[in-house]
């Protein structure tokens, strides 16, 4: 099982917990009829039927907890997914490190040079140095130092790395993957979605197989 995958230059996704599996999806459906099945092929067909016909609630019985480290601009896109629960690192109680995302040269449009990346690094380094200097200047007790950290973080750009825990059920996760693995989604969040997809495929192989067949491969599919 994939427990952790590095993403971008300094980020990662860690699968830290899972409740339920493909089996739980089937059990959730069969509770209504009071039947049990010991035929894996029938279970597989049932899961495919559910996804094909948009019966989403049985997939809400499977829940994942991920630990994600990503640039702030990726987190901002991620947090738009309201069906799920987030706990993010604090900028008040923790000082930011000088850790920001540097794009992979090969993903940039043509025409950019190493000088352009150097200018990007220089601007971010300067912003961080100012943040560090102003935070260090705070006098007084812990509350004043916390206030300094929370206000001067405004200097840091959205490429600085943040961390959060994300609790999400399989139905909402599939919606996230459908939207964020799409070629129109930003390259950087797509890298995270691909990492999460690989973990999901291992965790719930039959559900993922059906999701690929009926949702990912069809523009108009839904879950």
60 to 99, contacts with ligand FAD by CB under 6 A? 80-83
Residue with the CB atom nearest ligand FAD in the bound state:
82
Distance in Å, CB of 146 to ligand FAD, minimum: 31
**Ramachandran bin of 8, using left for φ above 0, alpha for ψ from -120 to 50, beta for the remaining angles:** left
Nearer to ligand FAD (CB atom), residue 69 or residue 180: 180
C-beta closer to ligand FAD: residue 64 or 131? 64
180 given a catalytic annotation: yes
7-66 positions binding ligand FAD, by CB under 6 A: none
Distance CA 83, CA 64 (A): 13
Quote the least distance from Cβ 159 to ligand FAD, whole Å. 18
Size of the site for ligand FAD (CB under 6 A): 10
Q: Which of 94, 145, 180, 190 is catalytic?
A: 180
Strands 63-71 and 11-19, by their bridges, are antiparallel
Sites for ligand FAD among residues 177-216 (CB under 6 A): 179-180, 184-185
Site for ligand FAD in 157-176 (CB under 6 A): 172, 175
Catalytic residue numbers, as ranges: 180
Residues that bind ligand FAD (CB under 6 A): 80-83, 172, 175, 179-180, 184-185
């Amino acid at each position: 099982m994939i427990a952790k995958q590095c993403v971008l230059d300094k980020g990662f996704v860690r699968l830290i917990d899972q409740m339920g599996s493909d089996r739980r999806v089937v059990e959730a459906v069969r509770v209504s009829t009071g039947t049990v099945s010991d035929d894996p092929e029938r279970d597989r067909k049932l899961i495919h039927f559910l996804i094909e016909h948009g019966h989403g609630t049985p997939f809400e019985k499977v829940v994942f907890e991920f630990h994600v480290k990503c640039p702030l601009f990726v987190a901002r896109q991620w947090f738009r997914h309201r069906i799920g629960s987030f706990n993010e690192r604090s900028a008040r109680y923790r000082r930011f490190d000088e850790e920001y995302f540097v794009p992979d040269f090969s993903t940039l449009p043509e025409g950019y040079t190493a000088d352009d990346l150097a200018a990007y690094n220089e601007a971010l380094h300067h912003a961080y140095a100012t943040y560090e200097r102003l935070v260090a200047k705070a006098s007084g007790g812990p509350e004043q130092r916390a206030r300094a950290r929370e206000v001067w973080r405004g200097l840091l750009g959205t490429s600085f790395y943040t961390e959060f825990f994300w609790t999400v059920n399989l139905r909402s996760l599939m919606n996230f993957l459908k939207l964020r693995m799409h070629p129109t989604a930003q390259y950087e969040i797509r890298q995270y979605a691909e990492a999460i997809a690989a973990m999901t495929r291992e965790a719930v192989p039959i559900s993922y197989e059906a999701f690929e067949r009926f949702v990912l491969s069809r523009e108009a599919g839904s879950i």
